[in-house]
Structure 1
């Protein structure tokens, strides 16, 4: 997987009707272009205005059905991130796009390339405000798409799809939107000409020279890495650069990918989304190089400096908008992998001592009292012990994330996915998309009990396609992240936080109702055996399984 190479169109294929002597239609041209750029999996939930798109459905395409539009976009997001290529999405007019907006927002924050199409009522009746029409369809998904269009003519639809694909793939990547009236698909159209569009930009050499000079001259450098490192397939190069400079490496706040191995000698931990804590943790460093991430993402209001006194800040980022609001220092804009490789091409810097290693976390123990719930730390430590460390984890358990970062280390690029947005309902369907993109690998979907209820329909899709996914639900019967966060907003210790208790949910029953076997674990002594069984691959068609861990 790479995030930097241009995507080249392959040989033009004949449309479904070409051999029958009829002219090309809009459908023919769109299918032909999608095939050429590798968008042959269509993630969708059907509606009446979308049905004409799927007549004469080609045998080499795959229709991936989600039972709700947010699930559809989440599956496409996971698939696109895991393949490195844009995914094709089909939604239903205004209502379907509205249902999908939470995960469209997440895809925008994840920088995930998606070509989102939505049906529109027939052009001939649009002046009469018909049933299911999308009023101002192009405005509905804004501002969380890079580009949005309803083509003026039916014959313009294939070119609009081609342009949408190019924009989605250009860095910073992201979702785009095309509204297509239902009667356009049968209209005559020309095939999209062969195209070869570069999707990356090399950072300015003069700015990289200044950044390289700062790194060479400093005494105690720190790197802060973000998701764009993994998206650009640059993790191995970042490891080499950190080793060259003996730099401590931190993970930027709210990062959705693994961009540095968490068992590496130079790994220093995770930065929280709080200004004062970031400054505290980076204290003592005189140069801070932020790679593939904003500098910095905050969650609560803060005060004081953005970096420790005496430290200089520099940044390499694929998004010019992020570089524009970086509060101080200097920023190079362009593809992260190309920028890091240019820095590696410089002469080696002066020798430095290695920084002190990160402290080893204490071992998590099972509960000492009979019948007591296991801790999240024990559950995640157990999962770490029995899982394949080269496997893939898709996570959406916000309250457990700090514990995960301690007890479930991710050691390889491409091995971890979560949402950059903070919006819930992404993780379960994203695991489906990742499993589709990585056949033969068992994917762990680590989900909180509250998070899972936003898109639990994804289990049905996993069952229908017999995908090797182990859904691990951490059930603490509450929205723990909100209860834990309440004191920041003035709640007194022990004060009730309304709407955050979640009693009575039975995830094993819910899973079995969709055809997925499951097991609830309340006894810490049984967890390792249950997880081991759930993670085992039983033949080439090994399907999903759910484990509900009752945690304190």
Structure 2
């Protein structure tokens, strides 16, 4: 009879999970005995980096990624980016080692106490199989649950001695899932849309996950609807150079109401409109507007302030709305005013982002984790092609750098540009080693302002003129990158920037540019 390892390896082939992201420990090693040649192991030097790489890969490839962690300590290291994967709705199957079943009653060294509880609530489902022969079925179920809407990570704890136990054959079943939404509710929404005088759409990351790009463009053009990006959206779902693009909603209640004022119908696709970062008061949306919320996440639908919430695949829902009644005659919304061109005086993050936009290769992918530069990015680095932007939905740090590695593995023919804050990059700087080892086509750009600038933005809101623990001056990112095998340069003058960017964008392997902005 085959072993649990043999049956699991065959299962992973069937599920197209032959690339394993991990940082191995003693309780995981038996899985890799006689590791097959058609599998690959992507080594990260810390477990949060491992999770971030797998997250980026799963988002960019559109299928669940397999993560292999050590028991409690390794899983604990990974929790920050596991939280981000949960907020990103990224499908992951996370496995972690456990000590041998025979010694679990004796609190052995490096075991996981209450293993399935530890990663909760940031996994959709968690299990430590009751028997060794149940491991393949547990992994198959974890894959199906991870891929079901709303997608997200799952967790399987596997005792070390299970891998060599005998196991009967196991083949996963196919499961088809189409989620078009309630036909009657979509018919009602289509009627409201046809009757509206000034409709607005708000698009979130879920619309990108569902592949709704073309359907939303066609629907917006048919109804001449202004299109806004939902607050803190982690993916791009509408071209930011389109005449109907209206801008980005801010995660503040009063600002959202002000931006959407004058619209009599608001239709949100794939993400919450009312996502807040600071306390506010008053209505969540303009009181004169009807609101429809369409997304695959029933939890969001349960609390969304709206008149009608529809749990649905946003692409299928948008296509259904396209077949609705003809719209009323209405004028197109006024075009968005472009940001003024910058000269580089001062040498700001906004100028850097403007030059990235001017010089970046066509079709290149932006992976961003520079919280204090998000506003300038919206103004000066427009995202105009589908599936070319990824960022962190949780607000945590340490996701962007490893996620760029995962995206590069899933999209080997595309140039990946990781735009990172100096503080953000230090949470996962050892990820550069993996990028160099794999020879990935990534340009890492560090926006180096010498401090946690996002905290200074918040400090001003609280009336604080001085903040402790925010000074990051003195870090030489180019030296750190070269020590891990990357070609790297430091840019501190405006005149040096364009040549550094152009050279990095045509490089075949990974490069880093440390840009010292004012």
Are residues 1:277 and 2:277 paired? no
Correspondence for 1:380: 353
Shift of 1:295: 2.8
Shift of 1:390: 1.6
Correspondence for 1:502: 472
Is contact 2:370–2:421 with CA below 8 Å preserved after alignment?
Answer: yes
Q: Secondary structure at the residue paired with 2:228?
A: strand
Shift of 1:329: 1.2
Is contact 1:170–1:200 with CA below 8 Å preserved after alignment?
Answer: no
5 Å-filtered alignment, 1:194-343, equals 194-343=172-321
Taking a change above 3 Å as real, the CA distance of residues 88 and 199 of structure 1, as seen in their structure-2 partners, is: farther
Q: Considering only aligned residues, what root-mean-square deviation do their CA atoms show, in Å?
A: 0.9
Are residues 1:131 and 2:109 paired? yes
Whole-Å separation in 2 of the counterparts to 1:414 and 1:81: 9
Is contact 1:387–1:535 with CA below 8 Å preserved after alignment?
Answer: yes
TM-score normalised to the size of structure 2? 0.99
Correspondence for 2:494: 524
Q: Secondary structure at the residue paired with 1:207?
A: helix
Are residues 1:143 and 2:121 paired? yes
Which stretch shifts more, 421-430 or 357-366? Answer: 357-366
Whole-Å separation in 1 of the counterparts to 2:163 and 2:56: 28
**Cα shift readout 1:371-416 (whole Å, capped 9, x = no counterpart):** xx61111111111111024210000000001000100000011100
Aligned length: 518
Are residues 1:545 and 2:511 paired? yes
5 Å-filtered alignment, 1:423-438, equals 423-438=396-411
Is contact 1:171–1:200 with CA below 8 Å preserved after alignment?
Answer: no
5 Å-filtered alignment, 1:378-417, equals 378-417=351-390
Whole-Å separation in 2 of the counterparts to 1:161 and 1:39: 11
Whole-Å separation in 2 of the counterparts to 1:199 and 1:62: 29
Are residues 1:483 and 2:461 paired? no
Correspondence for 1:119: 97
Is contact 1:41–1:88 with CA below 8 Å preserved after alignment?
Answer: yes
Are residues 1:449 and 2:418 paired? no
Correspondence for 2:483: 513
Q: Secondary structure at the residue paired with 2:342?
A: coil
Shift of 1:194: 4.0
Correspondence for 1:161: 139
**Cα shift readout 1:253-282 (whole Å, capped 9, x = no counterpart):** 011001000000000000010000000000
Is contact 2:197–2:328 with CA below 8 Å preserved after alignment?
Answer: no
Correspondence for 1:10: none
Is contact 2:207–2:315 with CA below 8 Å preserved after alignment?
Answer: yes
Correspondence for 1:19: none
Shift of 1:201: 1.9
- Structure 2, unpaired ranges of 5+: none
Shift of 1:342: 1.1
Correspondence for 2:332: 354
TM-score normalised to the size of structure 1? 0.93
Are residues 1:474 and 2:474 paired? no
Q: Secondary structure at the residue paired with 1:196?
A: coil
Whole-Å separation in 2 of the counterparts to 1:349 and 1:190: 59
Whole-Å separation in 2 of the counterparts to 1:463 and 1:508: 14
Are residues 1:365 and 2:333 paired? no
- Structure 1, unpaired ranges of 5+: 1-22, 368-372
Shift of 1:316: 0.5
**Cα shift readout 1:135-181 (whole Å, capped 9, x = no counterpart):** 00000000000000000000111000000000000000000000000
Q: Secondary structure at the residue paired with 1:510?
A: helix
Whole-Å separation in 2 of the counterparts to 1:176 and 1:197: 17
Q: Secondary structure at the residue paired with 2:191?
A: helix
Whole-Å separation in 2 of the counterparts to 1:152 and 1:267: 53
Are residues 1:55 and 2:33 paired? yes
Whole-Å separation in 2 of the counterparts to 1:296 and 1:31: 44
Shift of 1:348: 2.7
Is contact 2:365–2:388 with CA below 8 Å preserved after alignment?
Answer: yes
**Cα shift readout 1:508-536 (whole Å, capped 9, x = no counterpart):** 00001101110000110120111000000
**Cα shift readout 1:419-477 (whole Å, capped 9, x = no counterpart):** 00000000000000000000121100000000000001110000000000000000000
Whole-Å separation in 1 of the counterparts to 2:171 and 2:38: 21
Is contact 1:432–1:469 with CA below 8 Å preserved after alignment?
Answer: yes
5 Å-filtered alignment, 1:94-113, equals 94-113=72-91
**Cα shift readout 1:178-205 (whole Å, capped 9, x = no counterpart):** 0000000011112323411124422010
Shift of 1:351: 2.8
Is contact 1:162–1:192 with CA below 8 Å preserved after alignment?
Answer: no
Whole-Å separation in 1 of the counterparts to 2:467 and 2:123: 34
Is contact 2:190–2:325 with CA below 8 Å preserved after alignment?
Answer: no
Shift of 1:489: 2.7
Correspondence for 1:534: 504
Is contact 1:389–1:411 with CA below 8 Å preserved after alignment?
Answer: no
Shift of 1:346: 2.1
